Amino acid sequence: MQVLSILALVLKNIWTLSFLRDVLCEFLGTALFLFASLGSAPLSQCHPDPLRVALAFGASAALVSMCLAPATSGGGVHLNPAVTLALAAGLRVSPWRAVLYVGAQLLGALCACALLAGMVPDSLRGQLGLNKVALGVHPCQAFSAETAITFQLVLCVFVTSQPKSAFHLLGPTVIGLSVTLGHLVAIGYTGCGMNPARSFGPAVVTLNFHNHWVYWAGPCVGAVLAGILHDLVLQPRWGCPGDWLVEFKELLPKAPHRQPTTSEHTQG
């Protein structure tokens, strides 16, 4: 009963029209981003051109972010569970929002991949956007590559999300370049996941989860490390762990008259 009471209180505190619009943007944005990105890669038995794939993912991320940013309450969409995790760990997004954002992102990825699967011949469906660890690359090496490329992506997200940053207005462009760079670096080793939703959708559609942990663990670790570096070293926000704990407690479920009214959503 206590769990149900807490859940009801959480939903009452966050279930607003603005929040529903944010969740819709995460779903729609992730679906559009992955449909355009995965659909642009040539579906053939040969390896796709890395530059073509990198440019497709980078341009898609930039354009979707630019189009949907004005519709969100915090000025941007995440499109990536690893980004949402880092923002939640940095207390820029409440845990309750983060869980529903990730759910919307995964659902958007599934919808995009299911639509693409219906557009391609059966003979090519088994390789639809699937991330694979390259032959000769150990899973631990693949994990390191995914960690590194997601680290630089999330660091760009944190820097450009600062209103006083010189790159704030260029946020979508910078993030698109970061996505492109990540693909140019890692596509030959892991196929470049960088985004658990991007890896999850094709894995479900093709029913191939081989080494799938790499594409969750690597991006999530890289994202959290980037958040820690930014918030504790580059732009310190807390003097000690106790300060973080105090701020975290402010995000816990409260009675409506005690709920903070400040925005919990930051551009991602």
pLDDT tens track for 179-232:
999 999 999 999 999 999 999 999 999 899 999 999 999 999 999 999 999 988
Amino acid present at 62: A
Task: Decide if 264 is inside a domain.
Answer: no
The predicted model scores a pTM of 0.86
Taking the C-alpha atoms of residue 111 and residue 141, their distance in angstroms, rounded to an integer, is: 31
Taking the C-alpha atoms of residue 197 and residue 160, their distance in angstroms, rounded to an integer, is: 22
Q: 15-19, 41-45, 97-101, 176-180: which has the minimum mean pLDDT?
A: 41-45
Task: Decide if 268 is inside a domain.
Answer: no
Total count of domains within the chain: 1
The answer on pLDDT for 44 being more than 80 is no
Asked if 202 and 212 touch (Cβ cutoff 8 Å), the reply is no
Q: C-alpha angle 157/221/3, rounded to 5°?
A: 95
In the prediction, which pLDDT does 42 show? Answer: 56
Task: Decide if 30 is inside a domain.
Answer: yes
* pLDDT tens-digit series, residues 65-108: 999 988 887 768 999 999 999 999 988 888 888 999 999 999 99
Task: Decide if 267 is inside a domain.
Answer: no
Domain that includes residue 147, residue range: 2-258
User: Mean pLDDT, to the nearest integer, of 24-45?
Assistant: 84
In the prediction, which pLDDT does 69 show? Answer: 84
Distance, C-alpha 178 to centroid of its chain: 13
| Percent of residues, the chain, with pLDDT higher than 90 | 52
| Percent of residues, the chain, with pLDDT higher than 70 | 82
Q: Domain holding 112: CATH number?
A: 1.20.1080.10
Contact residues for 131 (Cβ-Cβ < 8 A; gap 6+)? 190, 191, 192, 193, 198, 199, 202, 203, 215
In the prediction, which pLDDT does 47 show? Answer: 57
Task: Decide if 197 is inside a domain.
Answer: yes
DSSP 64-96: HHHHHGGGSSSS----SHHHHHHHHHTTSS-HH
